Amino acid sequence: MNNQRINIFTGHFGSGKTEIAVNYAIHLKKHYHKVAIVDLDIVNPYFRTKDARQLLERKGIKVVASAFAGTNIDLPSLPPEIFSMFHNKDYQIVFDVGGDDRGAIALSRYRQYFSDESYHMFFVINCKRPMTKDAASTLEILREVEQRSRLKVSSLINNTNLSHCTNVDDLLIGQSQIEEVSKEMAVPISFITGGSEVLGQLPEYLKPKAFPIELYLRFPWEEST
C-alpha cells in the first residue's frame, strides 16, 4: 500500500467514507505503531466514527472527535486536538470528512498544514447512490469537494454497494463508471471495497485492488442478544 502519513477520505454523503476510514485505520495499525483517526464530519448527526470509538481504542487507535459528536448538541464543531496531529509526525492519520462540498469545507480550514506536507486524498464512490449514479454526476460532486476543500483528489475508491444485497455485478458496473471518472480526472482507482465474499468473485485483473472491509457501525437490531 503506497501510504502517505496523511490520508483523507472524502466523497458524496452516504458513499461509505466512515466505514472505509475506520477499516483503513485498523489496516494501518497493523503496519504502524501510532495511528489516529480524525472525525471531521460536520454533516451527519448519526452513524459517525465516534460510534466505533470503543472498538478503535481497543485496537490502540487514537480517536480525535468533537466532544459533541453523538450527543444532542447539533454543532458543526471540530476539536482543537486536530492541530497537534499535524505537528506530531509520529502518527499516521486518517481523516473522515463529511459528505459533499458542505462536509469538505471543514478540510479547507486546515489547508496551510496540507500544503506543508504531502497527503493522499481518496474520493469514495458508490454508484448505487442516486446522486452519483453516472460519471457526469460523480464528477460534479468530486469537483465541488475539491473546490470547497481547496485540496486535490489523488485517488478513487470504488465502494459500489447495496448494503447487504451487493453482488459482484454491481461492483463491476460501478468499476466501469468510475474508470470514466478516473480517465477524466487523471487519477487512479486505488481500491475496490466491499465484503470479502463479494470481492472474492472479482475477475483476476481487479483482485489486486480489492480491499475487504468489515462493517463496524451496526443498527441496534443487529446487536447479538
Partner 1 sequence: MSERVLMKGNEAIAEAAIQAGCRYFFGYPITPQNEIPAYMSKRMPKVDGVYLQAESEVSAINMVYGAAGAGARVMTSSSGPGISLKQEGISYIAGSELPCLIVNIVRGGPGLGGIQPAQSDYFQSVKGGGHGDYRLVVLAPSTVQEAVDLTMEAFDIGDMYRIPVMVLGDGMLGQMMEPVEFKPFQGRALPAKDWATTGTRGKRKRNIVNSLYIEPQALEEKNLARLEKYRQIEQREVKYEMQDCDDADIVLVAYGTTARIVKSAMKAARREGLKVGIVRPITLWPFPAAVLHNLAETAKAFLTVEMSMGQMVEDVKLAVNGVKPVYFYGRTGGMVPAPADILEEIKKIYGGEK
Residue 105, C-beta contacts closer than 8 angstroms, at least 6 positions apart = 42, 148, 149
Instruction: Say how far apart CA 60 and CA 28 lie, in whole Å.
Output: 11
Q: Which of 17, 50, 129, 148 binds partner 1 (CB under 8 A)?
A: 129
Q: Which residues fall within 8 angstroms of residue 156, CB to CB, at 6 or more apart?
A: 122, 123, 125, 178, 181, 182, 185, 187, 188, 189, 190
> Residues 26 to 85: which contact partner 1 by CB under 8 A?
44-47, 70-72, 74
Verify binding: residue 175, partner 1, rule CB under 8 A.
no
Rounded-to-integer distance, Cα 38 and Cα 110, Å: 13
**Rounded CA gap, 90 and 187, in Å?**
28
**CB 26 → partner 1: shortest distance, Å?**
21
Interaction between residue 128 and partner 1 (CB under 8 A): yes
Answer for which of 90, 116, 204, 223 binds partner 1 (CB under 8 A) is: 223
HSE of 121, CA atoms in CB hemisphere, 13 A? 21
- Type of residue at 180: E
The region of 83-91, 112-120, 160-168, 195-203 touching partner 1 under the rule CB under 8 A is 160-168
The minimum distance between CB 144 and partner 1, in angstroms, equals 12
Question: Closer CB to partner 1, residue 10 or residue 14?
Answer: 14
Is 133 one of the binding residues for partner 1 (CB under 8 A)? yes
Q: Cα–Cα distance between 18 and 22 in angstroms, integer?
A: 6
Residue closer to partner 1 (CB basis): 165 or 186: 165
The yes or no reply on residue 130 touching partner 1 (CB under 8 A) is yes
Any contact of residue 204 with partner 1 (CB under 8 A)? no
Looking at 33, 90, 116, 225, which residue binds partner 1 (CB under 8 A)?
Answer: 225
Distance, in Å, from the CA atom of 211 to the CA atom of 23, rounded to the nearest integer, reads 9
What minimum distance in Å lies between the beta carbon of 220 and partner 1?
Answer: 5
In whole angstroms, give the CA distance from residue 188 to residue 182. Answer: 6
CA-to-CA distance for 37 and 210, rounded, in angstroms? 22
Dihedral sign from CA coordinates of 134, 136, 138, 141: negative
| Among the listed residues 138, 161, 175, 193, the single contact to partner 1 using CB under 8 A | 161
Measured from the CB atom, the residue of 68 and 113 that comes closer to partner 1 is 68
128 or 148: CB nearest partner 1 = 128
Residues that bind partner 1 (CB under 8 A): 14, 44-47, 70-72, 74, 126, 128-131, 133, 161-163, 165, 219-223, 225
